[in-house]
Structure 1
Amino acid sequence: MKVLLTLPPDIHNLEIYRVTGMRAPPLGILSIAAVLEKHGHKVEVIDSPTLKLDFNSWLSKVKSAKPDVIGISMQTPMAPKGYRAAKIIKEEMPDIPLIAGGSHPSVMIEEALNNGFDVVVRGEGEYTSLELIDYLEKKGLDKLGLSDIAGIAFRYDNKIIKTKDRPLIQNLDELPWPARHLVDMNEYTLFNKNINIAHVMASRGCPYGCIYCITSYYWGKRYRYRSAENVVEEIKHLYDKYHARTVVFTDDEFTANWKFVRDFIDLLKKNNLDISFSCGTRVDLINKDLMKLLYDNGCNALYFGVESASQDTLNKIGKRITIEQAKRVFSWAKELKGFTTGSFILGFPWETIDDMKKTVDFAIKLDPNYVQFTALTPYPGTPLYDFALKNNLIVDKDWEHYTTVRPVIRGFNFSDKDLGKMVVYAYRKFYVRFGFMMRELKAGRFFDLFKILSKNLIISPVEDKIKRVFEPLRWEK
């Protein structure tokens, strides 16, 4: 079949794209595309945010592709535009089967089916999509037979049918590498700079189940690693074909398997791959020796989710780390002169304003090179979402605002407006420090950072406050 896989149009205007200037290939649909191609289907991919497509230009590309079936992948902030796109497709091309996939429709099944989609692919999508496309090729939308396909949902006889769950893929090495030839790899940037960057997934799953994070509930509560050999072969391919010299690992916890990390570094050396890479990890999944091994062999940044200065909060959210572990890890990074990014979440429902200020002060004490402060966001499919609904804490139900940039909930002791002000306060207190700014100027990084911070980091009513914070810092090199 001729299969079109796409992200919704017009999502380049969402806050998360506009603020960071980051563009990354849609690895999820590229992985599905690779599996479909391997089994004989013809696939086209439209990476709407990278191409900055509005609805009209997107529809023109969809029509010119003349697909037999269309799949649209959506995370939560993309959902409204994805639903609008689905309705347009049903008006313009009513006979084409329309499939929804991604983290949002996987849990908001009825919502997706009510907004024009024929079938929802739930969870990990490669083999479910393949079986579904094979079925559609033979029988079309004969919904009687759809019930035999694991991992989907659809409406039949005015009822929503949710088929049995599909087992997770245990051997990730059996998957072909993402079909990057279907997109323009020269379009992917960091801080709006055209550097040859590649995004790679080495593992899936997370056993921790933090109440705010969708990873454990979408990819499963168990680590599944590719082999180091397979990962390095993919990087070598990216190095040779696309001249990629910078790799961003998309895993939540790259260092959960220490043997994998050591094997990976050994193979980089054996293959003479002179790359730099960044990865995410946890303060309890690394030691000083492993950290040194990473920094000495191309790791240019380690990303740690610290989240809070309160041990009680860390316990409540299921983070399963300690404050002392965080202090120790960031002190190791200082000793090793390695680059770190720390992530902190403001607005847990039981917090007070003083609690949030303590988290900001803790971030300053740890002193990572960069820090990310986010407003707690209740994504569908997480325990936090259920908790927020039960306690009537959600004040904004527009999915487009669920970016962690704009507050959408209140707490028991603060309003959503209070939370917005706290995010502004946090960025200002951390970044507008003389010592920090001098360090970044000396390192040649300050102006890239300033471009992000001076954008519309927080939307009205606190947008102007952000601008006033950083406006005095506008000077030329």
Structure 2
Amino acid sequence: MLLTLPPGIHRLEIYRVTGMKAPPLGLASIAAVLEGEGHKVKIIDTPTLEMDVDEWLREVKSWSPDVVGISMQTPTAPRGYKAAKLLKEELGDDLIVVAGGTHPTSMYEEALKNGVDVVVRGEGEYTTLELLETLEKHGLDEEALRRVKGIAFRGRDGRVVVTPPRPFIENLDELPWPARHLLPMDKYTLFGKPIRIAHVMASRGCPYGCMYCITSYFWGRRIRFRSPENVAAEVEFLVDKYKVKQVVFSDDELTVNRRFIYGFVKEMKERGLDIQFACGSRVDHVNRDVLKFLYDNGCVAVYFGVESASQETLDRIGKKIKVEQARRVFRWVKELKGFATASFILGFPWETIEDMKRTVDFAIELDPAYAQFTVLTPYPGTPLFSYAARHNLIEDWNWEHYTTIRPVMRGFHFTREQLGRVLKYAYRKFYLRPGFILRELRSGRLKDLAGVLAGELASWFKDVVVQHLRWGR
């Protein structure tokens, strides 16, 4: 089976804003499971290799696969559909095209209208394994496919068949580590520079269900953790194999499980591993002692989702945090001389422009090392998408624009154009402060941001900022 990202997506806004290139861990995890059961697998990481359609098609043809799996997020879905149709045209209808990822999980009917034969919905490892073995024995036979949990396909009568969901994997330790040997590990960069950073996922799921975030609705409302021993063993392997110096945890929220944090640090010390790491957290999941423990034991960056200065908004979106908790956490960060970033979302439907400006002022009050400002984006599969569609707020249905940089929906009290101007205002007001620039000069980080500061702050600076943080700079 060949697993791939759509070709040409490195040209999309979501990729071209930064020199960061990160491995597709989801595809690598599926590949590891397939290889473990004796299947031959290839991965094409198109954005990292900067593959356009022609080069990608030549690579696919050279491997002559029977099944091609395409991973799609919302901004990459249109090019994924074009790739699926092209595969059918070039390789014939005998080739089976499978789609997976957050977008087709929710928009499976759309995918099945655009060259896709089968959609893998949700967590993909065991569903893809069972699907592949079914296809090998029975092809696209409807009765056989109906026995595979977690998929969608078209039946003989043309109607979409959705099979029962597959239960989430309870013991994540049973999964093999991602098949990184199938990835171009020498090509992953940040700001165009080679870096020795590994990306690791220690958990799946989120119990909070914020209305705008796909995590809870894709990975589940209950968080599942790997064991500290398993994660530490993977890090040790990465240090030995790829000479890794830093680890980026791709989990949305690592500190929800303090037992894991303490156990992971203990394991790393026992293995004699001296690495730095970055992780995501919530302002209600840490206290001063936890932050100190993190900073004292290799954590170089913590990412907090603050989102708004309005307690009413925080309550309405299901964030379940308090404004005062954010103030307290960033006060502790400064006392500990730690490094943390904060994310803020502009454009909740009920907000006014003045509400958004108050959020920008709140970001300046908290004064994190960096701030990430994004515009609220209604991703399919989230409650926000249903809310925005129900109130006719979505004005741009081009999925490629769903980057959190470009406004695609209006509010009740503002237009898309006004929201775009507020995003510019937020970045300029936060990052062009003399105090911030002086701090960056003193820290030696300004050289990495100088090109960005000289460019159009409005349209693409936020991604550079957040990645600078999340990859442990």
TM-score by length of 2: 0.96
Alignment of 1:159-308 (within 5 A): 159-308=159-308
> Which residue number in structure 1 is paired with residue 468 of structure 2?
none
CA distance in 2, matches of 1:456, 1:149: 49
> Which residue number in structure 1 is paired with residue 133 of structure 2?
134
Paired residue secondary structure (2:190): coil
> Which residue number in structure 2 is paired with residue 107 of structure 1?
106
Amino acid at match of 1:420: G
CA distance in 1, matches of 2:175, 2:118: 23
CA contact (8 A) 1:406 1:458 kept: no
Alignment of 1:309-458 (within 5 A): 309-455=309-455, 458=458
Displacement of 1:141 after TM fit? 1.7
CA contact (8 A) 1:278 1:300 kept: yes
Displacement of 1:68 after TM fit? 1.4
CA distance in 1, matches of 2:329, 2:193: 30
Percent identity of equivalent pairs: 64
* Aligned pairs, number: 460
CA distance in 2, matches of 1:455, 1:402: 22
> Which residue number in structure 2 is paired with residue 19 of structure 1?
17
CA distance in 2, matches of 1:454, 1:342: 22
CA contact (8 A) 1:103 1:123 kept: yes
1:43 aligns with 2:41: yes
Paired residue secondary structure (2:318): coil
CA contact (8 A) 2:428 2:457 kept: no
1:6 aligns with 2:4: yes
Gaps of 5+ in 1: 467-477
> Which residue number in structure 1 is paired with residue 64 of structure 2?
66
Amino acid at match of 2:224: R
CA contact (8 A) 2:206 2:221 kept: yes
CA distance in 2, matches of 1:130, 1:329: 44
CA distance in 1, matches of 2:190, 2:200: 15
Amino acid at match of 2:287: N
Instruction: From the superposition, tell whether residues 455 and 23 of structure 1 become closer, same or farther in structure 2 (CA, over 3 Å).
Output: farther
CA contact (8 A) 2:427 2:458 kept: no
> Which residue number in structure 1 is paired with residue 144 of structure 2?
145
Amino acid at match of 1:178: P
Paired residue secondary structure (2:153): strand
CA contact (8 A) 1:31 1:176 kept: yes
Displacement of 1:458 after TM fit? 4.5
CA distance in 2, matches of 1:403, 1:432: 24
1:176-211 CA-to-partner distances (Å, cap 9, x unmatched) read: 000000011111112222111100000000000000
Amino acid at match of 2:448: D
1:116 aligns with 2:93: no
Paired residue secondary structure (1:83): helix
Instruction: From the superposition, tell whether residues 449 and 105 of structure 1 become closer, same or farther in structure 2 (CA, over 3 Å).
Output: same
Amino acid at match of 1:45: I
Gaps of 5+ in 2: 463-473
1:325-348 CA-to-partner distances (Å, cap 9, x unmatched) read: 000000000000000110000000
Amino acid at match of 1:40: G
User: Alignment RMSD, CA only?
Assistant: 1.2
Paired residue secondary structure (1:42): coil
Amino acid at match of 1:328: R
CA distance in 2, matches of 1:451, 1:263: 40
Displacement of 1:21 after TM fit? 1.9
CA distance in 2, matches of 1:344, 1:60: 42
CA contact (8 A) 2:202 2:249 kept: yes
Amino acid at match of 1:78: T
Displacement of 1:212 after TM fit? 0.2
> Which residue number in structure 2 is paired with residue 154 of structure 1?
153
CA contact (8 A) 1:98 1:117 kept: yes
Amino acid at match of 1:107: S
**2:83 is matched with which residue: 82, 85, 99?**
85
CA distance in 2, matches of 1:249, 1:285: 16
Paired residue secondary structure (2:403): coil
Displacement of 1:456 after TM fit? 5.3
CA distance in 2, matches of 1:115, 1:68: 19
> Which residue number in structure 1 is paired with residue 52 of structure 2?
54
Amino acid at match of 1:28: G
Decide which moves more: 172-181 or 90-99. Answer: 90-99
TM-score by length of 1: 0.95
Displacement of 1:454 after TM fit? 4.3
